[in-house]
Amino acid sequence: MNIEVKDVSCKIGEVEILKDINFSLKSGSFSAIVGPNGAGKSTLIKIMLGLLKQDCSTGKILYDGIKVEEVNKSRHWLGYVPQNYSFDRSLPITLDEFYKITCALKDGDKYDEILNSLNLLKLKKHIMGGLSGGEIQRALIAYNLFHNKRVLFLDEPTSAIDIEGEALVYSILNNLNKVDKINIIIISHDIDAVLKSVDTVICLNKTIHCVGGACDILEGNMIQQFFEGHRGLYKHHGGCIHHHD
């Protein structure tokens, strides 16, 4: 699905959160939005999801030429895994019940298959409040898959999980992108992990500083220049993997 972000700006009161954001993402892309804290990354994806339109933003978001408002109203293509999924952890609801209540499940085999692919099958009867951060992230990815989302946004998907869990999440996302052709857009501070997986990088700090192929940006030293003032966030890299169309 082709995604276009046109002239997006966002102000809350007199504070400018985002200014003149313009970029487009190709169908089937795996993209990362990188930038320091307070750069407007989470705001940008909420605007791209159509969740903040009335509050602060101007501009247009188009998915295959269709406005995001229309997409949310009738097509429901957009999936989202928030950074902090806050819910009442004392609520006695099993993962299985959560899906049966919140998703219109029809195909029983596909249900177990998706849960298995996300290492969630054995957790089906567990109470959601007892799941770890990584398990909740995967549970929300499964929620989006049950709704047949075509674009999946993830806000810091690996911030609350260990290295092993992080590798699992990236391997799942790679699989969804390559096999199921789902557009994936993630926010991450972990540049090394991002560059190994994504094909497009958007450097954001209130405005767009660079957009392009992960390797082009890395090899052209653009990302180093972008993070010049934020050295703590970018220390080293292990190279990138060239993605071919």
Partner 1 sequence: MIEILLMPFALKALLASSLISVICAWSGIFVTIKRMAYFSESISHSSLAGIAIALWIGFDPSIFLVFFSALMAGLIALVAQSSITSRDSVIGIIHATVMSAGIILLSFLRGGNTDIARYLFGDVLAVTNTDLYLCAALFIFASAYLAVFSKTHTLTSLTPELAKLNGINVKKYDFTLMILLALIISVSVKIAGAILVTALLIIPPNAAKNISLSYNSFVRLSIISGLLCSISGVLASIFFDFPTGPAIVLVNAIFYFLSLFMRNILKIAI
Contact positions vs partner 1 (CB under 8 A): 49-51, 72-74, 76, 78-80, 82, 85, 87-94, 97-98, 101-102, 127, 129-130, 140, 143-144, 147
Strand partners, 204: 208
Least separation, in Å, of the C-beta of 9 and partner 1?
Answer: 21
Task: Choose between 20 and 70: whose C-beta lies nearer to partner 1.
Answer: 70
Amino acid at 55: D
Give the integer Cα–Cα distance in Å for 71 and 175.
25
Least separation, in Å, of the C-beta of 101 and partner 1?
Answer: 5
Percentages of the chain per state (helix, strand, coil), in multiples of 5: 40, 25, 35
DSSP 120: -
Task: Choose between 38 and 130: whose C-beta lies nearer to partner 1.
Answer: 130
Judge contact between 217 and 201, C-beta under 8 A: yes
Q: Of 209, 234, 211, 214, whose CA–CA distance to 224 is shortest?
A: 234
Task: Choose between 88 and 164: whose C-beta lies nearer to partner 1.
Answer: 88
Least separation, in Å, of the C-beta of 142 and partner 1?
Answer: 12
Q: What distances in angstroms separate CA 185 from CA 44, 56, 78, 79, one per listed residue? A: 11, 22, 11, 10
Least separation, in Å, of the C-beta of 167 and partner 1?
Answer: 26
Task: Choose between 72 and 174: whose C-beta lies nearer to partner 1.
Answer: 72
Give the integer Cα–Cα distance in Å for 84 and 18.
22
Least separation, in Å, of the C-beta of 155 and partner 1?
Answer: 11
Give the integer Cα–Cα distance in Å for 211 and 23.
7
Task: Choose between 129 and 239: whose C-beta lies nearer to partner 1.
Answer: 129
110: CB partners within 8 A, 6+ apart: none
Q: What distances in angstroms separate CA 170 from CA 83, 165, 194, one per listed residue? A: 15, 9, 9
Least separation, in Å, of the C-beta of 124 and partner 1?
Answer: 12
Task: Choose between 72 and 159: whose C-beta lies nearer to partner 1.
Answer: 72
Q: Interhelix angle for 133-146 vs 95-102, to 10°?
A: 30
Least separation, in Å, of the C-beta of 233 and partner 1?
Answer: 26
Task: Choose between 140 and 203: whose C-beta lies nearer to partner 1.
Answer: 140
